[in-house]
Amino acid sequence: MTHKRENWSSNFGFIMAAASSAIGLGNLWKFPYMTGMNGGAIFLIIYLVFIILLGIPILLSEMAIGRNTQLNPLGAYKKINKKWSFVGAIGILCSFIILSYYSVIGGWVIKYIVSFISGSKIKDSFTYFENFVSQPLEPILWHLLFMIITVSIVTFGISKGIERISKIFLPALLFLILIVAIKSLSLPNSNEGLKFFIVPNFKGINSFNDFLNICLHAMGQVFFSLSLGMGALITYGSYLSKDTNLKKSAIIIPLLDTLFAILAGLAILPAVFAFGYKPQSGPGLIFQVLPAVFNSMNFGIIFGFMFFLVVFFAAITSSISLLEVVASFCIDTFKWSRRKSTFLPAFIMFLIGTFASLSFGPLKNTTLLNMNVFDIATFLSDKILMPLGGLFMCLFVGYVWGIKNISNEITNNGKLSFRLEPVFSILIKYIAPALILIIFITTLF
């Protein structure tokens, strides 16, 4: 009896920790604007299909690799087969790039919390946002603050404590998004937005190429949102005890993550149409639209404050998982102290992020191949490195480590059943790699 309860509670703790790495700005900030830019419902449908075909099998595999080896991503690949260590290296590079710009957006969230604390409504939220991000200095200071908070948590090794907070803030986030979604859906003309989000409209797709482009974005979003393809879940899996049920986690985590993404879509897209904004407006979308929703609510300032506060928590629990990947690598490989392993990489990330931040203002038009620094960073991480990491991981699991070995890990050496093993095997060996390759080759070349 006692044994059972302990089991459950450790599984529950892991699911909360992994879910709080997964649920973050990817769901609340990125998913709505990606959906807006990629044709609405069609994007949503492709996204959901990819969660099943790519997200779940890759998530399960990463956790299994982590738990089997009990090591950081680089060490994990090295232990099973030395030649494949480069996959771990891709992941570490990727965490580096993501955190650089993640922290910039995290900084915007802090700025909005502070604006709501000052008690004034944000009027004309579109101009407010544009004025804020186009300044050279202020957004960088908030970005610095976000990075300092992330570094402090990882340096003092109190990540576990923070993750415990997720038991409070995840339900709070759920509650607040629900309220905003209900408000947003009750605004005049919000129907258009709901339709945009759930009824496919093929008018915007003029060629097969357009369709493939949406697929590329949806794939990138699946990797980003579930924290896949870069070792975060190998790192988390390595802390798992041998008797937890990996299969269960691999279903619950994507379910929770997708729930938050869809609710964020419902909170934002109807309001976009109700206030006459454009769904294609890009990374500023939630920062422009939500203040307008809060303005139209009773106690809007308080709701606005609470909302951005929980978004901040969601962002921090994701950013610490990103920094943890890099830090644990530096500790293991270079034998640096924990302090050095967090400070030094974070400092470099801060510098890269500075350029990402400036690309919303002074460096807006400084581009390479039509992309500014922010675009290049997201392109590299979401569309190249994470899918590449995922592709290699599938090949590694399918053909090097082998389905038999991973199946042993997933079933806790035969103690649990794994009826879907044949399906899993086909997904990991053929379908997932083929999908990633096809999308890659057709859109990038």
Of 265, 226, 234, 263, which Cα lies nearest the Cα of 51? 226
**253 sits near ligand PHE (criterion: CB under 6 A):** no
Phi-psi label, residue 386: left if phi above 0, alpha if psi -120 to 50, beta otherwise: alpha
Of 103, 33, 382, 99, which Cα lies nearest the Cα of 222? 382
**322 sits near ligand PHE (criterion: CB under 6 A):** yes
- Of 22-30, 38-46, 59-67, 73-81, the segment contacting ligand PHE by CB under 6 A is 22-30
SS3 371: strand
- Of 135-143, 198-206, 318-326, 408-416, the segment contacting ligand PHE by CB under 6 A is 318-326
- 72 — phi, psi (to 5°)? -70, 165
Q: Which is nearer to ligand PHE, 105 or 394 (CB)?
A: 105
**98 sits near ligand PHE (criterion: CB under 6 A):** yes
**227 sits near ligand PHE (criterion: CB under 6 A):** yes
CB of 173 to ligand PHE, least distance (A): 12
What is 222-274 written as a DSSP string?
Answer: HHHHTT-SSSHHHHHHTT--TTS-HHHHHHHHHHHHHHHHHHHHHHHHHHHHH
Q: Which is nearer to ligand PHE, 224 or 360 (CB)?
A: 224
**21 sits near ligand PHE (criterion: CB under 6 A):** yes
Q: Site for ligand PHE (CB under 6 A): how many residues?
A: 15
Of the residues 230, 264, 330, 427, which one makes contact with ligand PHE according to CB under 6 A: 230
Q: Which is nearer to ligand PHE, 96 or 129 (CB)?
A: 96
Of the residues 50, 169, 224, 424, which one makes contact with ligand PHE according to CB under 6 A: 224
**26 sits near ligand PHE (criterion: CB under 6 A):** yes
Q: Which is nearer to ligand PHE, 246 or 322 (CB)?
A: 322
- Of 24-32, 37-45, 267-275, 347-355, the segment contacting ligand PHE by CB under 6 A is 24-32
- Of 23-31, 41-49, 107-115, 327-335, the segment contacting ligand PHE by CB under 6 A is 23-31
Of the residues 16, 18, 25, 80, which one makes contact with ligand PHE according to CB under 6 A: 25
> Tokens standing for 389?
């990491």
CB of 44 to ligand PHE, least distance (A): 16
CB of 261 to ligand PHE, least distance (A): 8
- Of 53-61, 173-181, 221-229, 361-369, the segment contacting ligand PHE by CB under 6 A is 221-229
**109 sits near ligand PHE (criterion: CB under 6 A):** no
- 368 — phi, psi (to 5°)? -130, 125
Count helices and strands (H / E) in the chain: 22, 0
Which residues within the stretch 172-201 sit at the binding site for ligand PHE (CB under 6 A)?
Answer: none
Residue closest to ligand PHE when measured from CB atoms: 26
CA distance 165 to 172: 11
Residue recorded with tokens 């003309």: 189
- Amino acid at site 342: T
Of the residues 16, 20, 24, 151, which one makes contact with ligand PHE according to CB under 6 A: 24
Burial 123-140 (b: 16+ CB within 10 A, else e): eebbebbeebbeeeebbb
Of the residues 35, 221, 225, 357, which one makes contact with ligand PHE according to CB under 6 A: 225
- Of 167-175, 224-232, 286-294, 336-344, the segment contacting ligand PHE by CB under 6 A is 224-232
Q: Which is nearer to ligand PHE, 33 or 275 (CB)?
A: 33
**27 sits near ligand PHE (criterion: CB under 6 A):** yes
SS3 24: coil
CB of 73 to ligand PHE, least distance (A): 11
Burial 213-226 (b: 16+ CB within 10 A, else e): bbbbbbbbbbbbbb
**100 sits near ligand PHE (criterion: CB under 6 A):** no
Rg for the chain (alpha carbons), in Å? 21
> Tokens standing for 170?
């995840």
The three-point CA angle 176-180-182 to 5° equals 115
**22 sits near ligand PHE (criterion: CB under 6 A):** yes
Q: Find out whether 179 and 307 touch, Cβ atoms under 8 Å.
A: no
CB of 28 to ligand PHE, least distance (A): 8
Burial 388-423 (b: 16+ CB within 10 A, else e): bbbbbbbbbbbeebebeebbebbbeeeeeebeeeee
> What residues make contact with ligand PHE under the rule CB under 6 A?
21-22, 24-27, 98, 224-225, 227, 230, 232, 318, 321-322
